[in-house]
Amino acid sequence: MRMRALLGAVGLMLATVGADVMAAATEIRSVRLWRAPDNTRLVFDLSGPVQHSVFTLAAPNRIVIDVNGAQLSTKLDQLSLSNTPITGVRSAQRSPTDLRLVLDLSTTVTPKSFSLAPNQQYGHRLVVDLFDQESAAPGVPQAPQANTPTVEIKPSVATVPGSPPAKLPPVPGGKRDIVIAIDAGHGGEDPGALGPGRKVFEKNVTLAIAKELQRQINAEKGFRGELVRTGDYFIPLRKRTEIARKKGADLFVSVHADAAPRAAAFGASVYALSERGATSETARWLADAENQSDLIGGAGNVSLDDKDRMLAGVLLDLSMTASLSSSLNVGQKVLSNMGSITPLHKRRVEQAGFMVLKSPDIPSILVETGFISNPNEAKKLATLAHQQALARSITAGVRQFFQQNPPPGTYIAMLRDSGKIDAGPREHVVTSGESLALIAQRYQVSLASLRSANSLKNDTIKVGQTLNIPATALAAQP
C-alpha cells in the first residue's frame, strides 16, 4: 500500500515537473516568409529567446533547424511557398522542450541563421535565410578594419561621379541613358515607421512611390530608372548601394516616409551625407533611426577590399567630395520642386550620417516624402494622386540637375553639346575642404571666368554656397 502511494506521489511529481517544463518552453507563435531575388527569408516569431542549430541534408535536399527550449504553437501548412525553393515545412517535438523543423527543398541552397532581439514592432525572432546557389551567400560577418567602404576605386574622379559600366544598353545615337537607382526604404522584416493606428507601413508607401518614380523617369528620353527593391523583402543598407553600383547608377535616390518624435511634425525633406554629423536634431534623430535598419534586418558587417589604405583613403576622399557636391546640388533641385506640391520641413538640403548614402562614387540623396507619424500626411501618402505628385517633383529635380550636369557619353550630354537643350549654367554647391581653384580645375574653367560668373571679388567661398559654372573652355589661369 505504501509502495503504491509512493509511486503515485512520484508520478504526480513528474507530471508537475513536466507541466512546469512545458510552461517554461518558448513558443513559436507565428512564421513569416519573404522571397527576394536571390534568397528566401523565414522569420519565426518567438515568445522568448532560444538556442538553435541549422544543418543541411541531401538526397533529398533538406534544411534541418533544431530549436532548444521551444514548442510550436502555430500552423506551418498556411505558408505560401510558391516561387521559393521550399516545397514543404514539417515539425516534430523531439522532447517537451526540443523542437525540430525540417524544410523540404526543390534545389540546393546555402542557409544562414541568426536571432534578433525585440524592437518596437516585433518580439524575439529566429531568422533563417536561404541563399540561392547561383548567388553568393554572405559569409560570417567580419569586423571592420577601417572606415573605408567596400568599393571599386576608380582611377579618376569625374565631374559627376558614378559612371556606369561600358556595356549598358545604348539609346538612339549610340549614347547611353542616365541611370537613376531608386531605393524604396525598408521592406520585409523591417516595416519602417508606422502610421497612426498601425494601418500605414512606411515600407509599402516607399515601394509605391519608388515604382511610380521609376515609371516617370523611364518616360523621359535619355533616362532609365532602376529599382533597388522590387518587392516586399529586406535588403541590408550597404547592399542597396552595391546593387545601385552594379546597375551603373549615376544617381542614388532613397525614398522614405519616416516618423518623428512629435506627431505634429510635418513636411518633406531631402538629405545628403554629412561626415561630420547631422545639421539639426531632426536630421540626427532620423539618421539614427535609419541606421538601425541593419540591426532590425540582422545584417552583418562587410569585409574591406584589398586596396592600399592610404591610396584608397585619398581616392575615396576626392571621390566623396565630388559626389557630395553633386548630391547637394541635385537635392536642392528636388527639394525646390517638392515645395510646389507639399509643405517642406526645411527649405534647404540637410545633411546627416545616413549609412545608405555612404557611396563615395555615386551622388546620393535621401528623400523624406513626409512624416507618416502625422495623421494628415499619413493619409495623403497612402493615396495614388499624392504619390504621383511626389514622383513628378522628384523627376523634375533630377531632370534639371542632369540637363545642367550630364555625364559624358550620355544622350542628354549629346543634346546639350549640340545645343538642343539649354538648361542654363551648371551649378556647384561648395562642400567642406573645397577651394575656388579646385572647383575651377574640376569643371575645366579658368579662375577668372569662375570669379566673373559669380561676381566674386576674391577667391573666398563658403560651405553651402552655390556657384554658377560658366560654359567656357579652360583658359590660362592668372
Per-residue model confidence as pLDDT tens digits over 192-203: 998 887 789 999
Say how far apart CA 402 and CA 357 lie, in whole Å: 19
Per-residue model confidence as pLDDT tens digits over 347-377: 899 988 888 887 777 899 999 999 999 999 9
The pLDDT of residue 29 is above 60 = yes
Closest CA to 433 of 250, 251, 275, 271: 275
- Span of 105-114, 216-225, 273-282, 447-456 with lowest mean pLDDT: 273-282
Residues 271, 331 contacting (CB under 8 angstroms): yes
**Which one is predicted more confidently, 251 or 315?**
251
pTM, rounded to two decimals: 0.73
3-class DSSP state of 116: strand
Burial class (CB in 10 A: 0-12, 13-18, 19+), 84: buried
The neighbouring-strand residues paired with 128 are 42, 113
Per-residue model confidence as pLDDT tens digits over 205-237: 999 999 999 999 999 999 999 999 999 999 998
Q: Where are the alpha helices (DSSP H) in 92-225?
A: 202-218
Q: Where are the alpha helices (DSSP H) in 339-383?
A: 375-381
Q: What is the overall mean pLDDT for the chain? A: 80
Residue 413's H or E segment, with its range, is: helix 411-417
Cell numbers at residue 192, please?
A: 519602417
Residues 150, 172 contacting (CB under 8 angstroms): no
Per-residue model confidence as pLDDT tens digits over 332-353: 999 999 999 999 998 899 988 8
Say how far apart CA 240 and CA 366 lie, in whole Å: 13
Angle at 188 between CA 357 and CA 74, to 5 degrees: 155
Residues 132, 61 contacting (CB under 8 angstroms): no
Strand runs (DSSP E) across 350-453, as ranges? 350-352, 364-368, 426-429
Per-residue model confidence as pLDDT tens digits over 153-184: 232 223 333 334 434 455 555 689 999 999 99
Q: Between helices 202-218 and 384-404, what is the axis angle to 10°?
A: 50
Angle at 365 between CA 352 and CA 381, to 5 degrees: 100
Per-residue model confidence as pLDDT tens digits over 397-415: 999 999 989 999 999 999 9
| Of the ranges 240-244, 272-276, 417-421, 432-436, the best mean pLDDT one | 240-244
3-class DSSP state of 460: coil
Say how far apart CA 299 and CA 217 lie, in whole Å: 31
Query: What domains are there in the chain, each with its CATH number?
Result: 23-132 (2.60.40.3500), 170-404 (3.40.630.40), 425-478 (3.10.350.10)
Residue with cell 534541418: 64
State the pLDDT at residue 275: 65
- Span of 10-24, 97-111, 268-282 with lowest mean pLDDT: 10-24
State the pLDDT at residue 160: 35
State the pLDDT at residue 439: 85
